[in-house]
Structures are given as structure tokens and as C-alpha cells.
Chain A
């Protein structure tokens, strides 16, 4: 027998994290952990530590408070609605920007990023002025009985404003890469325009639109600056959770403030995790 057949069958190498041809995993992963720990995990841990002073009973009492409950519901509800609106209109804006050539296209394209750059307080003041009863838009809506400024609708409007770029910018590159031939193929197969749009063009955008939705939603939950100027901040009605945190802090109720923050954190994490899972599921099929 030759050495080759004598030698025991080589054990399948254990799947370790460092296999593969791309070197530097250990170093890169180590740095990532250190960095994430400093920037994200450490502050969050401190937050949880501080909030733990509340105890179980304290948390229950906090969540039982109608003012806190209303603030949390408003923050998450408005963020969800605004992100949904942005998912639809963001895709539309991205569609128009990538598929059509029109004068001023690059200006419109640049304007999409403005909500990123504008100080949120400026955005809030501008929106409040526009939608106030004597503002340009508020004046038009008031006779119809629609109040935007100093109402819950105002919160949604502010969040739509700050969240728009997220969806546009995640969907846009995908649309720009779209192969014209795919549309032509659908046409030669006899598909109507509507069938081509809804069965061929839009479905591949779903994962990117979900990413944009997630980003817009996360941003909306934490948004503070633009909302406080347009919402009116009536406790239990138009008061958002981040504002309540600030108010508690100003009252030196540090434990209460961090308690609300921890609840927001937990809910956000659960929702983002769920959306990411959904996105992973839609993406892995192709």
C-alpha cells in the first residue's frame, strides 16, 4: 500500500471564522468589535445601567403612565406611517429621477438630500410656518377642516420630510442599473404597461425599498428637532417620546428619562431586527 492510502482520511477542517482566502478577518473583526463597543454598546450599557435603578416595579409604573404610553405610541406610530408614505413616494421620486431626462433634473436630484443637510430645527420651524393656519399651505387646508400644524398630522409631515432621502437614495442606484432589455422582453411577451411595471420592474426594488423604509423609520423614532416646532407638544396628544425624555431630564428625573429611553431602544431593536429578517428573506431568493 502506498502512503497515500495508508494515511487516515483527513478530518474535515472545522469551520472556523478564519478560513477562506480573504486574510485579515481576525484583525478586522477585532477592530469592528472594539469600535462598536465604544461607539454603540458602551453608551447603551450605561443607559441600561442607569435605568436599572428603576426596578421592575418602576418600569411597570412608567409604562402604566398614560402620558408615557401616549408619547411612545405617537413616536412609533407616526414614524411607521411616515416611513410607509416615504416608501411609496420615495420609490416614485427615485423612478422619475432615474428614468426621465428633464430640465433641472440635477437640481431636483440635489434637493432630495436637503432634509439630510438642513438642521432639523430649521426644518421644523419652516414646516410649522407653512402649515400654520395663516401659512401658505395651512391657509389652504384650514377651510377643509384639516389641521396639520400643532396636531399629530404635523408630526407625520415632519417625519416624512426628514425621512424621504433614505428611500430615494437606497432605491435609486438599483433603478439606475435596471436593464432596459428586461422591459423590452416583457413587451415582446405581450405584457401590458401595468403588468410590466407591477410584475417586472417593482418587485426587484422591494429589498432596497425595505432598507429605505427601515432607515426612515429608525430616523423617525428618534427624531426630535423638527417635530417639537410643529407638533405643539401637548402632553398625551402631540408630545413625542424623545421630548418627554428631555422634559424628565430637565426635572432631574434621570432614572425616568433613561427608563423611557430603554423602552424605546428595546422596541426599536425588536422592530429593526424583524424588518431586517424580512428583508433578508426577500433578498435571498434572488
Chain B
């Protein structure tokens, strides 16, 4: 089921939560809605599911205008952050609920329901827990039951609102793989909300980055990470230092010092240079700075560096390079992106080929 969203807006009183969004969700894809709290990602998901009414705009499920369909008839699966299981029902009763609450004429037979419940319990790898109550399950198990319950009604789309948000780190990782696996096996069109960029980049086919009720960027995880479309995305996805620069005659100057990025920039005026910590290269020429604090960061050594005339940046060095506070380093950005104040951006890399710089859009 592909979903098309046209000019979708949602206001809560005077507060606009979504500003006229357009988005196409492809049939069978696993799409992440990523953004900080207050970005409108959960609101968007709830409007899609029919739990909130849009203030303007349309949601099309295939050719059908879903805006007029109430949530009960929309046939969507929804998984909540805090599971929202029925605590007075067993796991099996929870999963069967969508089927047993149908009108008698549409309800499958008891045997058919029991078979579907058993199949779903196998799918979510909890075949022995049918008779337990939710209070007797761990958080991860509860979320699996919630997913099985949502799948029992054979929804047209599956929506998950921060599905792993209430779980601890190890369980989150396991469930990520498990969800990807279930998606690949069942083929449901799936949209999930997260504020965790790792989760979005690792799990999704495509990522929609939201900020203050607007879409900042739509793309594959690679596109989002390697070619952020806005300063917001650059800041939000991965670590990055922002350095104020001025561009004149196609050249970049930082705090009055010229920086050779090996490419002529079209445009002039104040701009912001973004560089990720792992994209700096130590060398003989380039920018100079003084080492401040250092700390271990995953496989690298992260260094707080104060660039002469530009201020603090973070850089990652190989852990075998030892530096101490007060050391002087010379370095150049090997991979970078400059955003002009009018929103235009240009990025480049020294890695494309030795001695040359490739600029990309």
C-alpha cells in the first residue's frame, strides 16, 4: 500500500505542529521519521493512522482518500512506545483482540483465530507465552506482543511510535534486527518514529528528517549521512563542528586566514563550514589549532581543538597518536560542506583522488 501525503498540516490550538507536508511512502518500504522532540514526527504518524485529524491536507492510501476514514476502519496497525497492552487479558487474548472484537458476520471461527494467534506467536518468537499476562513479561517481550497484536488484523500499513524507546540498549539492538527481519519476511509497508539516529540509519530503507513541523530531508541513510541537505540535518545526524567562514572570489577564509579547499566556490559572503570529527586530516599546511581536552571515543581519540581565529572544533585521531593539552596541530578538512546563508550548499572531498578535489552537490 503506497501512501501519498499532500499539504498535510496539523495545528494544536495556536501551535502549528505540522506545516503543509508532502511525502510519498512507497509500498513495502521501511521508512523512518526522525527528528528531535517537538519536531512533529509523532503527530505525523498519528495523523497517518487516523488517531489525529489533520487541520488541512490529504492522506491517500493508494487511490483512496483516507482522511475521511475513521481509525477503526482504516485497517492500520499501530504500536505504541509504552506497548498499550490490555493488562487484564493474556498474551493470546491480546493478540486475538482485533479478531474477536469484530462483528459476528466478519469474525473468523474460533479455530481460525487460535491458529492465527499461534502463527503470530511463532513470528514474534514467543510461542510459549500465550497464557501469560502482560505484567509477567519483560519490556522487550511486551513490545513483541504489541506488534503481534497489530499484525493480527492484517493491516494495510504498520505504524510504530518510538517502538524501542522504553527499552534498554541491548534489547533495542536485538529488536532492531528482529524488526528488520520481520519486515523483510512479511513485506508490510512500515513507518516508524524515532529520535535515535542510529536506529533510523541502521533500520530504515529511507529516512525522513523532521524539524519544527517541516521536512528537512528525505533520503536513504547514505544520502542523509553523506550529503545532509541543511545545517540542521548536518548537526542532527552524526557529530559535526560548525565553523563560521567568509567566501570571497571563490576562496574560503576562516578568521581572516585563507583555507585552500582545492575548489572554486560559486557564491560570496558569510557561510558556515561543516566538518565531521573523523574527516580532518593532519598535515604540514592548513589550519592551526591548540589541543584542549582529549578523551576516548569509540575506536578513536577525540580531541577538543581551538582553531586559531575560529574557535572550538572536535576532531578524531587514531588512538596511537598521542597528543597533550597545549600541543599545536596543523590540519585540513578532508571532507566538508559549506552552507551559504541563502540555503545553498556545496560539499567536497580531498579523498576522491590524490591531488584533486571533487566537489559534489
Residue in A179, A184, A185, A203 whose Cβ sees the most chain B Cβ within 10 Å = A185
- On whether the beta carbons of B80 and A190 are closer than 8 Å, the reply is no
Q: Please state if A181 and B82 are interface contacts (CB–CB under 8 Å).
A: yes
Contact flags A189-221 to B (C-beta < 8 A → 1, else 0)? 111100100011001100000000000000000
Known: A179-B82, A184-B78. A190 touches B98 (CB 8 A): yes
82-102 of chain B: CB within 8 A of chain A: 82, 84-88, 97-98, 101-102
Q: Are B87 and A204 in contact (CB under 8 A)?
A: yes
Q: What's the minimum C-beta distance from B47 to chain A, rounded to whole angstroms?
A: 13
Name the contact of A185 in the complex, choosing from B50, B74, B84, B102 (C-beta under 8 A).
B84
Contact B88 A203 (CB under 8 A): yes
Interface size on A, residues (CB 8 A): 19
CB–CB A191/B101 < 8 A: yes
- Closest chain A residue, CB of each to CB of B146: A185
Residue among B51, B76, B77 with most chain A CB within 10 A:
B51
A-contact 0/1 string along B132-144, CB 8 Å cutoff? 0111000000000
Give the distance to chain B from A148, nearest Cβ to Cβ, in Å: 38
Contact across chains for B97 and A204 when beta carbons are under 8 A apart: no
Count A-B contacts at CB 8 Å. 70
Q: Is the CB of A184 within 8 A of B101?
A: no
- Residue B206 CB within 8 A of the other chain: no
User: Does B49 lie at the interface of the complex (its beta carbon under 8 Å from any beta carbon of A)?
Assistant: yes
CB contact under 8 A between A190 and B72, given known A184-B51, A203-B88: yes
Q: B101, A188: Cβ atoms under 8 Å? A: no
Q: Which residues of B contact A195 (CB under 8 A)?
A: 101
List the A residue with the shortest CB-CB distance to B135: A286
A285 contacts partner chain B, Cβ-Cβ < 8 Å: yes
Within 8 Å by CB of B80, from A181, A285, A286, lies: A181
Is the C-beta of B302 less than 8 angstroms from some C-beta in chain A?
no
A186 within 8 Å of B by Cβ?
yes
Contacts of A185 in B (CB 8 A): 78, 80, 84-86, 146, 149
Q: By the criterion CB–CB under 8 Å, are B72 and A191 in contact?
A: yes
Tell me if A182 is interfacial: C-beta within 8 Å of chain B: yes
- B153 interfacial by beta-carbon distance below 8 Å: yes
Closest to A282 in B: B88
What is the minimal beta-carbon distance from A143 to any residue of chain B, in angstroms? 44
Q: Which B residues are in CB contact (< 8 Å) with A92?
A: none
CA distance A143 to B152 in the complex (A): 57
Say which residue of A181, A192, A203, A204 sits within 8 Å of B101 (CB atoms). Answer: A192
Question: Which chain A positions have C-beta within 8 A of B133?
Answer: 285-286
Q: Is A46 an interface residue (CB 8 A)?
A: no
Q: Are A187 and B82 in contact, CB atoms less than 8 angstroms apart? A: no
Instruction: List, in ascending order, chain B residues with CB within 8 A of A184's CB.
Output: 51, 71, 78, 80, 84
Complex CA–CA separation, A266 to B135 (angstroms): 37
- Tell me the minimal C-beta distance from B41 to chain A in angstroms: 17
Within B48-84, the residues touching A (CB, 8 Å) are 49-51, 71-78, 80, 82, 84
The CA-CA distance from A235 to B176 in the complex, in Å, is 75
Contacts of B85 in A (CB 8 A): 182, 185
Instruction: Name the residue on A nearest B50 (C-beta).
Output: A188
A189 touches B88 (CB 8 A): no
Q: What is the distance, in angstroms, from A208's C-beta to the closest C-beta of chain B?
A: 12
Closest to B81 in A: A181
> When A and B form their complex, which 10 residue pairs have the shortest distance between CB atoms, in order from nearest?
A189-B98, A181-B84, A191-B101, A188-B78, A185-B84, A195-B101, A181-B80, A203-B88, A182-B84, A187-B71
7 CB-based A-B contacts, threshold 8 Å: A181-B80, A185-B146, A186-B86, A186-B97, A187-B71, A189-B150, A190-B98
Question: Residues of B at under 8 Å CB distance from A?
Answer: 49-51, 71-78, 80, 82, 84-88, 97-98, 101-102, 133-135, 146, 149-150, 152-153
